[in-house]
Amino acid sequence: MIGFVDKLLSIVKDGERENVEFKEYLTSYHLKEERFQALACQMNHRIIMGKGRALYVVGVSDSGELRGISKEQLDETVSILRKIANEIDAKVENIEVYPVDGGFVALVEIAKSRAKEHILVGTAGHVDHGKSTLVGSLITGKPDDGDGATRIYLDVLKHEIERGLSADLSFAVFGFKDGKAIKMKNPLNKAEKAWVVENADKLISFVDTVGHEPWLRTTIRGLLGQKIDYGLLVVAANDGIMRTTKEHLGILLAMDLPVIVAITKADMVGEEKAKEVASEVSKLLRSVGRVPYLVHSAREAKQAAELVAAKPVVPIVITSAVTLEGYDVLEALLYRLPKRSVTKKGFLMYIDRLYRVSGVGTVVSGSVKSGELREGEEVFVGPFHDGSFKKARVQSIEMHYYRVSRVEAGDVVGIALKGVRLEELRRGMVLAKQQPKAIWEFEADVVVFTHPTRIKPGYEPVIHVETIAEAVVFEEMDKEYMKAGDRGRVKIRFKYHPHCIFEGQKFIFREGRSKGVGEIKRIFD
Confirm whether 214 is domain-assigned: yes
- Which CATH number is 357's domain given? 2.40.30.10
In a domain, 341, yes or no: no
Among 304, 336, 368, the domain boundary falls at: 336
Choose one of 409, 432, 455: the last residue of a domain. Answer: 432
Considering the domain architecture, whether residues 219 and 93 belong to the same structural domain is answered as no
Residue 342 covered by a domain: no
Do both 366 and 302 map to the same domain? no
If asked whether residues 260 and 362 sit together in one domain, one would say no
Predicted pLDDT of residue 2? 43
pLDDT on residue 486: 93
**Cβ pair 318, 237 in contact under 8 A:** yes
Q: Which domain holds residue 256?
A: 117-336
Considering the chain, what is the average pLDDT of its residues? Answer: 86
Residues 178 and 276 in one domain: yes
Is residue 343, in this structure, part of any structural domain at all?
no
Task: Domain count for the chain, please give it.
Answer: 4
The strand pair at 430-432 and 372-374 is best described as unpaired
pLDDT tens-digit profile, the chain (525 residues): 445 567 777 887 778 888 899 999 999 998 887 788 888 888 888 888 888 889 999 998 877 888 889 999 999 999 999 999 988 888 999 999 888 878 899 999 999 876 678 888 988 888 888 888 899 899 999 998 776 666 565 534 333 333 333 334 567 889 998 889 999 888 778 888 889 888 898 999 888 766 445 445 566 665 666 678 899 999 999 999 998 899 889 888 888 889 999 999 999 998 999 999 999 999 999 999 999 999 999 889 988 988 887 678 999 999 999 999 999 999 999 999 988 776 667 899 999 889 888 878 899 999 898 888 999 999 999 999 999 999 999 999 998 888 888 888 888 889 999 999 999 999 999 999 999 999 999 999 999 988 889 999 999 999 999 999 999 999 999 999 999 989 999 999 999 999 999 999 999 898 887 788 999 999 997
What 69-72 contacts at long range (C-beta under 8 Å, 24+ apart), as own/partner pairs, is 69/24, 69/25, 69/103, 69/104, 69/105, 70/103, 70/104, 71/104
Q: Are residues 170 and 275 in the same domain?
A: yes
In a domain, 303, yes or no: yes
Report the run of H or E that residue 412 belongs to, with start and end. strand 412-418
In a domain, 36, yes or no: yes
What pLDDT score does 194 carry?
Answer: 85
Residues 226 and 361 both lie in one domain: no
In a domain, 458, yes or no: yes
Same domain, 331 and 360: no
Beta bridge partners of 432: 348, 380
Burial of 172 (C-beta count, 10 Å sphere; 0-12/13-18/19+):
buried
User: Would you state the pLDDT for residue 115?
Assistant: 61
| Domain-ending residue, one of 412, 432, 452 | 432
What's the confidence (pLDDT) of residue 344? Answer: 64
| Residue 271 burial (10 A CB sphere; 0-12, 13-18, 19+) | exposed
CATH number at residue 190: 3.40.50.300
pLDDT tens digits, one per residue of 153-182: 553 433 333 333 333 456 788 999 888 999
64 Rama class: left (phi>0) / alpha (psi -120 to 50) / beta: left
pLDDT for position 359: 79
Give the integer Cα–Cα distance in Å for 83 and 120: 25
Distance CA 218, CA 16 (A): 42
Q: Judge if 157 and 306 occupy the same domain.
A: yes
φ, ψ dihedrals at 77, nearest 5°: -65, -45
What pLDDT is attached to residue 151? 58
pLDDT of residue 446: 95
Q: Are residues 263 and 376 in the same domain?
A: no
Domain match, 231 and 286 both: yes
Helix, strand, coil share (%) of the chain residues, nearest 5: 30, 35, 35
Query: Residue 6, class by beta-carbon neighbours within 10 Å (0-12 exposed, 13-18 middle, 19+ buried)?
Result: exposed
pLDDT (0 to 100) of residue 167: 36
Please check whether residues 170 and 31 belong to one and the same domain.
Answer: no
Same domain, residue pair 186 and 277? yes
- Domain membership of residue 379 (yes or no) is yes
